């Protein structure tokens, strides 16, 4: 019985290592998704500012320059909308990766707890029971 319990503990420890690796992978993926989201938000904001700055220009020489500026601003605004959409998709991906990370941590913690319980059971099973002395029967006068 003790050998089976030790083998079970060994399997649990191995599974705990696998779950820890899965958690590390999930953490790396979550960090990458957050980084992508941050870059897209920054790009979207910069593009929005550029479009606003160009749209506010008033010192133009002729109608052709005004037309060209309008097309450029329109292109920047389209790029801003596209980047905003990409940022929304990146947000949902980042949220999903965070959920996967939390789930990986729960799985790892559950295995860790089971392994600790198994280790305690092994230690408890290997301890010799404390045998108390015999109690005297009868009265103290005997």
Is the pLDDT score of 135 beyond 90?
no
The verdict on domain 2-126 having CATH code 1.10.287 is: yes
pTM value? Answer: 0.72
Round to whole Å and give the CA distance between 42 and 83. 10
For residues 15 and 111, is the Cβ–Cβ distance under 8 A? yes
Alpha helices in 1-142 (DSSP H): 2-55, 63-126
Residue-wise pLDDT for 47-100, tens only, equals 999 999 988 888 888 889 889 999 999 999 999 999 999 999 999 999 999 999
Residue-wise pLDDT for 115-132, tens only, equals 999 988 888 877 666 565
- The residues spanned by each domain of the chain are 2-126
Q: How far is CA 44 from CA 2, 34, 80, 118, in A?
A: 62, 15, 5, 53
Is the pLDDT score of 109 beyond 80?
yes
């Amino acid at each position: 019985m003790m050998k089976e319990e030790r083998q079970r503990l060994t399997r649990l420890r191995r599974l705990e290592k696998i779950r820890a690796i899965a958690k590390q992978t999930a953490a790396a993926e979550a960090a990458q998704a957050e980084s992508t989201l941050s870059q897209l938000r920054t790009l979207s904001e910069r593009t929005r500012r550029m479009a606003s700055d160009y749209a506010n220009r008033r010192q133009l020489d002729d109608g052709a320059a005004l037309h060209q500026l309008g097309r450029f601003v329109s292109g920047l605004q389209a790029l801003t909308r596209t980047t905003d959409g990409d940022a929304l998709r990146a947000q949902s991906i980042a949220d999903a990766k965070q959920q996967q990370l939390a789930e990986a941590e729960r799985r790892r913690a559950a295995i860790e707890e089971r392994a600790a319980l198994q280790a305690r059971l092994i230690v408890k099973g290997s301890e010799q029971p404390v045998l108390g002395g015999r109690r005297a029967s009868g009265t103290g006068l005997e």
